[in-house]
Amino acid sequence: MELVLGVGKGHLSPVPVTLEDVPHEDVLNVINDCIKFDSLDRPTFKEIESRLSKILWSCQNEREIKEDVVGDKNEEENIK
């Protein structure tokens, strides 16, 4: 009960999360949306899952592109 009252009165709040704490800026946005005070402003689990899936897909594609670029550069250096 003390926890509920502490949060309700603004005495307790989640530990702040920074960009350095997460692998992608969009993950930070999801976290910040999840800890909003008003429950109506927070995403549903379905929305969280959808957003995190999109972020994961985006991160995987970014990684593949970076690996392709690095691979292309290595091939060019080997040809020289």
Range(s) of the domain holding residue 69? 15-79
Determine, yes or no, domain membership for 4.
no
Determine, yes or no, domain membership for 1.
no
Cα distance between residue 29 and residue 17, in whole Å? 10
Determine, yes or no, domain membership for 3.
no
CA-based max dimension of the chain: 70
Q: What is the pLDDT of residue 6?
A: 80
pTM: 0.70
Determine, yes or no, domain membership for 54.
yes
Convert the pLDDT of each residue in 56-79 to its tens digit: 999 999 888 888 877 666 666 666
Determine, yes or no, domain membership for 34.
yes
Cβ-Cβ contacts under 8 Å for 32 (sequence gap 6 or more): 17
What's the total number of domains in the chain? 1
Phi-psi domain of 76 (left: phi exceeds 0; alpha: psi -120 through 50; beta: other): alpha
Determine, yes or no, domain membership for 74.
yes
Determine, yes or no, domain membership for 5.
no
